[in-house]
Amino acid sequence: MMGPIFDTHAHYGSRQFDPDRDALLDGLPGRGVAGIIDCGTDLDTSERCRALAHSRPWIWAAAGIHPESLIEEDSSTTVRFGGDWRAELAALRPLFEDERVVAVGEIGLDHHWPVPRDEQLALFEAQIHLALELDKPVIVHDRQAHEPTYALLRRYRPRGVLHCYSGSAEDALALAEQGFYFGFGGAVTFKGAKRAVKAVQALPADRILLETDCPYMAPEPLRGQRCDSGMIAHTAAFIAEVRGVSPEELLIQTDANARQLFRLP
User: Which tens digit of pLDDT belongs to each residue from 207-224?
Assistant: 999 999 999 999 999 999
Domain containing residue 20: CATH number: 3.20.20.140
Task: Identify the pLDDT of residue 63.
Answer: 98
Average pLDDT, rounded, for the chain:
97
- In the chain, the percentage of residues whose pLDDT exceeds 90 is 98
Q: What is the DSSP string of 127-154?
A: HHHHHHHHT--EEEEEES-HHHHHHHHH
Domain that holds residue 235: 5-262
pLDDT per residue over 22-50, tens digit each?
Answer: 999 999 999 999 999 999 999 999 999 99
Residues 260, 208: contact at Cβ < 8 Å? no
What integer pLDDT is reported at residue 185 of this predicted model?
98
| Residue 144 binned pLDDT confidence (cut-offs 50, 70, 90) | very high
CB-based contacts of 239, cutoff 8 Å, min separation 6: 184, 188, 200, 208, 210, 250
Q: How many domains does the chain have?
A: 1
Q: pLDDT class for 3, splitting at 50, 70, 90?
A: confident
User: What is the residue-wise DSSP string for 23-74?
Assistant: HHHHHSGGGTEEEEEEE-SSHHHHHHHHHHHTT-TTEEEEE---GGGGT-TT
The angle that helices 85-92 and 117-134 make with each other, rounded to 10 degrees, is 20
Residues 6+ apart with CB under 8 A from 144: 110, 111, 112
- pTM of the entire structure? 0.97
Whether the link from the prior residue into 47 is cis, omega within 30° of 0, is: no
Q: What is the pLDDT of residues 58-89, one digit of tens each?
A: 999 999 999 999 999 999 999 999 999 999 99
Cα distances (Å, whole numbers) of residue 100 to 34, 36, 46, 108, 116? 16, 12, 12, 22, 32
pLDDT of 159 strictly over 80: yes
Q: What is the mean pLDDT of residues 11-21?
A: 98
| String of DSSP letters for 105-135 | EEEEEESSS---HHHHHHHHHHHHHHHHHHT
Residue 84, H or E segment: none
Sheet holding 181-184, edge to edge: 5-10, 33-39, 59-63, 101-110, 138-143, 160-162, 181-184, 208-210
Grade residue 142 by pLDDT with cuts at 50, 70 and 90: very high
What confidence category does residue 160 fall into, taking pLDDT thresholds of 50, 70 and 90? very high
> Residue 128: what pLDDT?
98
Query: Is pLDDT of 245 > 80?
Result: yes
